[in-house]
Amino acid sequence: AQSVTQLGSHVSVSEGALVLLRCNYSSSVPPYLFWYVQYPNQGLQLLLKYTTGATLVKGINGFEAEFKKSETSFHLTKPSAHMSDAAEYFCAVTVADRGSTLGRLYFGRGTQLTVWP
């Protein structure tokens, strides 16, 4: 079974500070990993994805994440926070094999990011 754990339901940073949002997953097969962002009263917007290849992936708005298989982690970072980054962030996983879980996203509980001026 697949599951995702996001450490810290709330993270606060000052504008210009490093953003680090943590995500750990469990999967019995190689995973595909995603980060989504949700702004108030909106749906989910894809930030970045890891499928295969380079383990450091870059996304939109200056975010990046590194897939670490040995640590089963996929933490999201941004060197310098901006006020517009305030939102809720979701880590999600699907699996690489065929079967009943094909196309199904398993989400973490989300991390609310607050950016202080």
The residues that touch another protein, with contacts defined as CB under 8 A, are 32, 34, 36, 41-46, 49, 51-52, 90, 94-96, 100-110
Shortest separation between residue 65's beta carbon and another protein, angstroms: 13
Quote the DSSP letter at residue 62: G
Helix ranges (DSSP H) in the chain: none
Smaller CB separation from another protein, 7 or 96: 96
Phi then psi for residue 12, to 5 deg, are -120, 135
Shortest separation between residue 51's beta carbon and another protein, angstroms: 4
Whether the Cβ atoms of residue 78 and residue 21 lie closer than 8 Å to each other: no
Smaller CB separation from another protein, 9 or 14: 9
Smaller CB separation from another protein, 75 or 108: 108
Counted residue by residue, the chain has a size of 117
Where does residue 27 fall: left (phi above 0), alpha (psi -120 to 50 degrees), or beta otherwise? beta
